[in-house]
Chains A and B, each alone.
Chain A
């Protein structure tokens, strides 16, 4: 018997209700599209005014294309100010902190999920509870600790903070993956006389490349966008990252909309490009790192 035959008579569609269903779906699509437009339009507007001069921003309708694409806005802000310095600082600090988080996170996750010891669940608990602690409640002591250690106005203070605060979510995403690895992996390795190091670095770590990619992307997004630590710990321009740099730079140029738009576009472009190519992984990482609480 097919499921069709099981349907009670009332469920059989009349032509009228079919049309109703079509209209219903149409309304749903309109709602979804309106929401998408609300999410995207501010960014489209930003892109448009980054290519205009003030006259065009003020006189043309807001969502109109510029008459002439003023890419020179981008050239101007890239060489003026320190935007290129901030950009490179953001790049290396983001990469260094993300790599360190993944390395230390992988080691700890491996020991907590695959090795046998008392207290492993307690330690795991410590990592997970750390996720609930507001960054701002740690800010004053961190500042004074780094100050005493001579690490204020030093990128190391940023890297240490980023690694510590992203560690919980990194471990949380990795956990599921490590638990799911088959026991036979280690058994075979140990049989063959592997040491723990060899087992981890040669066998397990390569098997986790997909979760490394996911956590790596999530870490990079968070580190790239981080603001409050840079704003508090770093004072000299040569160490500032883009978020704080952009904030200061725009403070000086508040009247030139084209320059402001171009600066903002430069600061979000790497993330947008990453999103274009790796959106599935980003979605997966954000979903995996949020719900299990």
Chain B
């Protein structure tokens, strides 16, 4: 048995195709990104090694820090919205008839392509014919704003469909975690006289904590690297007021053909994502994890 199952040739044959592929497509590009960042390069011509110039320029690049601030704002809003999703999941897990149907309906936007969602929300926000302004006008608000061309509003207007798209995803995860808690615990608490609030706060919440921590990381990192809807809906505009880190990288590389500087931004993005993951893990680390039984 062991001889067959530890045949080195077969193991290599089974693992290597997948392993080599992620090495070539995921890991090597990461190393290359860091290296390209040390060069001046337009993507076609010769690279010119310039040391840390791109990285030091990045540190004083106002546009970059503005886009980083926008990404950070999105991360904060995404993490705060997790509270709402958790509350909804709590309600769903409390003997609601049709809970299964509800969570499926909530999930639908997440399954659709970002382009379709972006194009749909472009119409939703359309200044004269969009559903948002039609509703506002019928409620008596004269001259509702053109949401996506107001520099002060555009970022928050973009956050709405982004949060809308992923709401069902987090509700689904929380629901699964809450359903995973043995019902015997809830029964026992009820017998001891606990009410629904106490059961939610003292029993369900602590037991779902591990999953909540994972979702905080997912929401924060997902927001920091966010790109799709913003790229399609406003392309970072008007005048950079909705630029985020990933869109700034894309514009620098594929519009301004500054591949060296774009790579530096790309590498910085990776570092920020890893550092934020590490910080959140540290902040939410607990000494003892709670066991079900």
Complex Cα distance, B114 from A227, in Å, reads 8
Cβ < 8 Å to A, chain B residues 78-93: 88, 91-92
CB distance from B57 to the nearest CB of A (A): 17
A40, CB-defined interface residue at 8 Å? yes
A163's nearest neighbour on chain B, judged by CB, is: B21
- Cβ < 8 Å to A, chain B residues 29-54: 29-30, 32-33, 36, 43
Q: Smallest CB-CB separation from A11: which chain B residue? A: B193
CB distance from A282 to the nearest CB of B (A): 7
Contacting A at CB under 8 A, from B206-255, are 211, 214, 217-218, 221, 225, 227-228, 232, 246, 249-250, 253-254
- Chain A: minimal CB distance from B231 (Å): 8
Q: Given the complex, which residues of A lie within 8 Å of B164, measured CB to CB?
A: 38-39, 42
Main secondary structure of the interface of B (DSSP, over half): helix
Q: Total A-B residue pairs with C-beta atoms closer than 8 Å?
A: 281
Task: Assess A243 versus B115: contact at CB under 8 Å? Given A43-B108, A45-B124.
Answer: yes
- Identify the closest chain A residue to B97 (Cβ): A29
A contact patch SS: helix
The answer to the question of B63 belonging to the interface, with a C-beta cut-off of 8 Å to chain A, is: no
Beta-carbon contact of A267 and B227 below 8 Å:
no
Take A61-B134, A130-B22 as given contacts and tell me if A260 and B119 are in contact as well, using a CB distance cutoff of 8 Å: yes
Counting CB contacts under 8 A, is A145 at the interface?
yes
Q: Which A residues are CB-close (under 8 A) to B22?
A: 126-127, 130, 164, 167-168
Interface residues of A in 123-137 (CB under 8 A from B): 123, 126-127, 130, 132-137
Task: Determine whether A181 belongs to the interface, using a CB cutoff of 8 Å to chain B.
Answer: no
The reply to whether B15 and A228 contact each other, CB–CB distance below 8 Å, is no
A22 CB, nearest partner CB in chain B, Å: 13
Q: Are A246 and B116 neighbours in the complex by a CB distance under 8 Å?
A: yes
Contact of A75 with B by CB under 8 A: no
Q: Is the pair A57, B129 in contact by a Cβ cutoff of 8 Å?
A: yes
**How far is B145's CA from A232's CA once the two chains are assembled, in angstroms?**
33
- Which residues of chain B (116-168) have a CB below 8 Å from chain A? 116, 119-121, 123-124, 128-129, 131, 134-135, 138, 164, 167-168
Evaluate whether A291 and B173 lie within 8 angstroms (CB atoms) in the complex, with A36-B102, A164-B25, A271-B112 already known.
yes
Residues 42-88 of A at the B interface (beta carbon under 8 Å): 42-43, 45-46, 49, 57-58, 61-63
Given contacts A136-B269, A225-B113, A232-B254, A36 and B225 within 8 Å (CB-CB): no
- Listed in ascending order, the chain B residues whose CB lies under 8 Å from chain A are 1-2, 4-8, 10-11, 13-15, 17-19, 21-30, 32-33, 36, 43, 88, 91-92, 94, 96, 102-116, 119-121, 123-124, 128-129, 131, 134-135, 138, 164, 167-169, 172-173, 176-177, 187, 190-191, 193, 211, 214, 217-218, 221, 225, 227-228, 232, 246, 249-250, 253-254, 259, 262-263, 266-267, 269-270, 273-274, 277
A sample of 27 cross-chain residue pairs with beta-carbon separation below 8 angstroms, ordered by A number, consists of A3-B191, A8-B193, A29-B96, A32-B96, A35-B102, A35-B167, A38-B164, A39-B167, A40-B108, A49-B123, A110-B14, A116-B5, A133-B30, A137-B33, A137-B266, A138-B30, A161-B25, A167-B21, A167-B22, A197-B10, A200-B14, A227-B115, A228-B228, A247-B119, A271-B111, A272-B108, A287-B172
Residues of A bordering B, CB below 8 Å: 3, 6-8, 10-11, 28-29, 31-32, 35-36, 38-40, 42-43, 45-46, 49, 57-58, 61-63, 104-105, 107-108, 110-112, 114-117, 123, 126-127, 130, 132-145, 160-161, 163-165, 167-168, 171, 186-187, 190-191, 194-197, 199-200, 221, 224-225, 227-228, 232, 242-244, 246-247, 250, 257, 260, 264, 267-268, 271-272, 275, 279, 282-283, 286-287, 290-291, 293
Given A136-B269, A247-B232, A257-B129, 17 more contacts at CB 8 Å? A11-B190, A11-B193, A39-B106, A42-B109, A62-B135, A105-B18, A108-B18, A117-B8, A130-B22, A132-B274, A138-B29, A140-B266, A141-B28, A145-B29, A163-B21, A190-B4, A225-B113
